[in-house]
Amino acid sequence: MPKLLIKRKDTFISFSEDYTIYLDGKEYPVSFGGVLEIDLDEGIHEIYAEVYWLKTEITEFYIGKKQLLEFNIKPIINQEKFIFIGVTLLLALLLVQTHIQILINLGAFIGIVWLLLYVYMLTFGSKHYLITSIDPV
């Protein structure tokens, strides 16, 4: 029987969020680091993922007899790059500012970054937060 493995990549950025996978209209929750194995019928199926109001594009795929496919899902935000940029900017602030100016600028910087991120996710980024792929195993 054909099977679909759904794997959620572990990332620090989204550890508290539960993803919901929609496969042919049925809902499957996937927790942090979770793996689901679903038996399917041979044929064409539709799948997409959702977290909060953020969705992926609907993906159609064909699965044949005795075939095993893997659906991978992860957020687009790369935690290593996110941490590197944050530490670099913090060090730059430390080198050129006094202590009080550092706290004021750091608070303003964090607030502006979060505001821009939320505005992006509410508008253009609502279908680009999660990255998915379907690969043969």
Q: What is the CA radius of gyration of the chain?
A: 20
Strand partners, 45: 61
Question: CA angle, corner 57, sides to 68 and 118, nearest 5?
Answer: 125
For 44, half-sphere exposure in the C-beta direction (CA atoms, 13 angstrom radius) is: 3
Tokens matching residue 70: 């893997």
56, burial (CB in 10 Å: exposed 0-12, middle 13-18, buried 19+) = buried
Least confident segment among 9-13, 22-26, 54-58, 122-126: 9-13
pLDDT digits (tens, 9 = 90+) for 62-121: 999 989 999 988 777 666 666 777 778 777 777 776 677 777 777 788 888 878 877 877
Out of 2.60.40.1120, 2.60.120.10, 1.10.3720.10, 3.40.50.10490, select the CATH number for domain 3-76+126-136: 2.60.40.1120
pTM assigned to the model: 0.69
User: What residue ranges of the chain are covered by domains with CATH 2.60.40.1120?
Assistant: 3-76+126-136
Task: Flag whether pLDDT at 12 surpasses 80.
Answer: no
Summarize pLDDT for 50-62 with one digit per residue, the tens. Answer: 888 888 888 899 9
Largest separation between any pair of C-alpha atoms in the chain: 67
Give the CA dihedral 27, 46, 131, 6, nearest 10 degrees. 60
